[in-house]
Amino acid sequence: MEVAAGAGTGPSGKLENGKMDNYPKELDAGALFVLKSRGTWLHCGYHLATSIVCPSLLSLPFALSLLGWAAGTTWLVLAGMVTFYSFNLLSLVLEQQANLGHRQLRFRDMGTDILGPRWGKYYVGPLQFLICYCSVVATAVLGGQTLKTIYLLARPDGTMQLYQFIIIFGLVILFLAQIPSFHSLRHINLVSLVLCLVYCVCTTVGSIYIGRSKNAPIKDYSLQGTREDRILSAFNGISIIATIYGSGIIPEIQATIAPPIKGKMFKGLIVCYLVIITTYFSVAISGYWAFGNQAKSVILSNFIGKDSNGRDLLPTWFLLLTNASTIAQIIAITLVYLQPTNELFEKKLGDAKSDQYSMRNVVPRLISRSLSVITATLFGAMLPFFGDIMALFGAFGFIPLDFILPAVFYNVAFKPSKRGAIFWVNTTIAVISSMLAGIGAVASVRQMIRDAKTYNLFANM
């Protein structure tokens, strides 16, 4: 039936004006319990910022070192514009589908309804699950590394191994993973946003301080290696920046918004991208300016050491503050990327007809979420070099989900005229992004092969 624009739906399958729509009258347990539609556009902004603006942005100076000033800053700006445009396309498609009486709460729902059941079941759904769960493994590794850094700052002669810190981080997540729904994370994600600003300010200040000191490192902005190395490194840098802008859970975030949803996601994106502009560019430019092509994969690693006079580059308290705010935000990010996994398990194991907090639902939820976190922590402890693998998943996962599929969904759902600019802009984004994903994957595999000699199970990296 025809539904007026702006009308919203709830779990009952009714519109706000009381009329029935084509929305399922009985939601599955995953949608009903995990993806509660109760949030505001501001909550949406918090969720978006936490899913996108995370400590991986500390790799931006390294990405610029692979691309150089001109190409690096140009791609940083262009990737931001394209992702903002793409996320808005997804939002518009979701609003259109809701107005037609089919509010889609998950990425795989979009694939199923717009491209066909096989696309949702065999491509979009598995791809998103892989990316989100691998992100949880990666954050476990990053959380362990950050805890180890704090430990060594306090006890320089400490003997604890990296895998022990990853397990400690996993224990914290094991407890917090039981938070029932995505909407329940809204206050945690607000704190996460503030913490992100804290460590980005600290990182920017630290880079400028070191770069302006009397014993500042020599600034060399030349691209290193042979011509082949520089080309493949550039594509690796492109993949890193694309991954850092990635989310992969835009539909799930929009699903947390209370109806009517029209226009709310756009406001949330504005909040998120104001944070992105503030953080990405300050960290990327100050870090690359200070350290040039010596910028390490995580810029905080450049802060630890001595200058030519044997003094610490930065005070210990400053490093502790930076790393403490970083680890706290990593916890919030891990919880966000657990949500698609939680939703899937809840759908398979939960009972939508029983109360969310009944024993029938609490026991499967406790077991499934605990096993999910324990498995991710184990993988992280065994494979602390997972960052290299994540770069490959970024090329194969985040670029399709955040650059390619939004353009395809919009063209299929809205059917813009092939004579108009929108159709060709979307098609161009999808084609170029597909090429970048393929070349980025090759560059990531090459980097993994070069680093393979350092790979050891439970390595103390």
Q: Is residue 2 part of a domain?
A: no
Q: 314 phi and psi, to 5 degrees?
A: -140, 150
Q: Is residue 207 part of a domain?
A: yes
Q: Is residue 66 part of a domain?
A: yes
Q: How does pLDDT run across 167-203, given as a tens digit for each residue? A: 999 999 999 999 999 999 999 999 999 999 999 999 9
Q: Is residue 10 part of a domain?
A: no
Cβ-proximal residues to 46 (8 Å cutoff; 6+ apart), any chain: 186, 189, 190, 192, 193, 271
Q: Is residue 6 part of a domain?
A: no
Residue range(s) defining the domain that contains residue 144? 32-454
Residue 42: give its domain's CATH number. 1.20.1740.10
Structural domain count of the chain? 1
DSSP letters spanning 384-425: TTHHHHHHHHIIIIIHIIIIIHHHHHHHHHH---TTSHHHHH
Contact 444, 242 (CB under 8 A): no
98: three-class secondary structure by DSSP: helix
Rounded CA-CA distance 251/48 in Å is: 11
Rounded CA-CA distance 357/365 in Å is: 10
Q: Is residue 14 part of a domain?
A: no
Q: Is residue 357 part of a domain?
A: yes
pLDDT tens series, the chain, 461 aa: 333 333 333 443 444 433 334 444 568 888 888 888 889 999 999 999 999 998 889 999 999 999 999 999 999 999 999 999 999 999 999 999 888 888 888 999 999 999 999 999 999 999 999 889 988 998 999 999 999 999 998 898 888 999 999 999 999 999 999 999 999 999 999 999 999 999 999 999 999 999 998 877 888 999 888 888 888 888 888 888 888 998 889 999 999 998 888 889 999 999 999 999 999 999 999 999 999 999 988 899 889 877 767 678 889 999 999 999 999 999 999 999 999 999 999 999 988 888 989 999 999 999 999 999 999 999 988 877 655 666 676 777 888 999 999 999 999 999 999 998 999 999 999 999 998 888 877 877 777 777 666 667 666 66
Q: Is 339 left (phi over 0), alpha (psi -120 to 50) or beta?
A: alpha
DSSP letters spanning 340-366: HHHHHHHHHH--TTS-TTSHHHHHHHH
Q: Is residue 16 part of a domain?
A: no
* 301-340 burial: b if 16+ Cβ within 10 Å, else e: ebbbeeeeeeeebbeeebbeebbbbbbbbbbbbbbbbbbb
